[in-house]
Amino acid sequence: MESVLSKYENQITIFTDYLEEYSDTDELVWILGKQHLLKTEKSKLLSDISARLWFTYRRKFSPIGGTGPSSDVGWGCMLRCGQMMLAQALICRHLGRDWNWEKQKEQPKEYQRILQCFLDRKDCCYSIHQMAQMGVGEGKSIGEWFGPNTVAQVLKKLALFDEWNSLAVYVSMDNTVVIEDIKKMCCVLPLSADTAGESPPDSLIASNQSKGTSAYCPAWKPLLLIVPLRLGINQINPVYVDAFKECFKMPQSLGALGGKPNNAYYFIGFLGNELIFLDPHTTQTFVDTEENGTVDDQTFHCLQSPQRMNILNLDPSVALGFFCKEEKDFDNWCSLVQKEILKENLRMFELVQKHPSHWPPFVPPAKPEVTTTGAEFIDSTEQLEEFDLEEDFEILSV
């Protein structure tokens, strides 16, 4: 397997141009909900981009599953993009969107802890090992390429074992986001209660929802909202372009997963009709924690000029990401969607208040009853039977 993967290392095809030079223009650049005036804030823009955690192909990590691949070159790009989107959610959760990274500067302890969630070791909750093995439960063999929805389903299940970040991960179905279901999943009883972390009774939720989306919620579990979409048949339909770009302007934006057939990128913003993205197709050596317990983070930030792609060259299968730390953030997101997305005649996705009557009942995902950690739980693929197999919504066309 290693010899097969190694041949890819010098054969990575890059389809886009580097943004080595930004032209002087009065246009705004949008990066994950923040705007930059290109003409006067070029250095601030590049600093904002380089602050995002950048996950790429790695080699020489411990074999996945004990006997599997020790590199994800050639197949792990969508998994790495999923890691980048989730990492941005964790940065927003613990450090805030305005947090910035500077090379060789001491960072908050939360930053180091976030980074350690993604190291290429089987005992790290969002490692390539965990994602690849959880993908088996989604019908994907270890070493097989993932689509955007598969990655979303994998992250949803791995998050159940992550008690520190305590995220509620909602992956929409059938191009539809259901407010009632999200409120049911994110509204939990206060931590002081005997049933801390549990959802409040349905009667309380129903009562609150009848008063509108801003009704009282006892405590809000931070929400990672992923919306898998297909925006065309073989190529993106131009009618969706404006709505797609609007999503990057929302303060809750985590960008988008997508790219070209079998080449995934993490899209973080746009300039005009060009999408700006982080590219995982660089092979680096495995990095582990040092003796003092910290991680050398120099290879986890992209210090090159960012790359770009014309939005019409995007494969139509994508997944949008949003993070709502508090209930008011979700309510604000709903208002923005109603104003900017639902105004279109051909809507990119739907936002509805009530759970559709023809759908199966919504049951918030729950951690299986096991006595081990998440890492130990999926150390063997035989133990993945606890999870239901969820059919892919869309994958990038091959």
Per-residue model confidence as pLDDT tens digits over 119-162? 999 999 999 999 999 999 889 999 998 999 999 999 999 999 99
Give per-residue pLDDT as tens, 77-100: 999 999 999 999 999 999 999 999
Q: Are 160 and 387 in contact (CB under 8 A)?
A: no
Q: Are 280 and 128 in contact (CB under 8 A)?
A: no
In this model, does residue 389 exceed pLDDT 80? no
Catalytic residue among 36, 94, 129, 281: 281
Say whether 129 is catalytic: no
Say whether 77 is catalytic: yes
What's the rounded Cα separation, in Å, for the pair 128 and 135? 10
How far CA 189 is from CA of 166, 202, 218, 318, in Å, comes to 14, 12, 6, 34
Name the pairing type of β-strands 223-230 and 168-171: parallel
Location of structure tokens 């008063």: 211
Alpha helix segments (H runs only) across the chain: 2-6, 42-50, 77-94, 109-116, 128-136, 148-158, 179-186, 202-209, 241-249, 327-340, 374-377
210 or 283, which is more confident: 283
Give per-residue pLDDT as tens, 1-46: 444 344 333 333 333 344 445 556 678 999 999 999 887 788 889 8
Alpha helix segments (H runs only) across 38-126: 42-50, 77-94, 109-116
Say whether 279 is catalytic: yes
What's the longest Cα–Cα distance across the chain?
Answer: 61
Q: Which residues of 215-251 are buried (b: 16+ CB within 10 A; e: fewer)?
A: bebebbbbbbbbbbbbbbeeebeeebbebbbbbbbbb
Name the pairing type of β-strands 350-352 and 176-178: parallel
Catalytic residue among 77, 81, 247, 324: 77
The predicted structure's pLDDT at residue 80: 97
The predicted structure's pLDDT at residue 22: 55
User: How does DSSP assign 349-387, residue by residue?
Assistant: SEEESSPPTTSPPP------S-SS-HHHHTSSGGGGGGS
- For residue 187, give the nearest of 349, 299, 328 by alpha carbon: 328
Q: Which residues of 171-193 are buried (b: 16+ CB within 10 A; e: fewer)?
A: bbbeeebbbbbbbbbbbbbeeee
Q: What is the pTM of this model?
A: 0.84
Categorize the per-residue pLDDT at 60 as very low, low, confident or very high, splitting at 50, 70 and 90.
very high
Catalytic residue among 72, 279, 331, 379: 279
Give per-residue pLDDT as tens, 303-319: 888 899 999 999 999 99
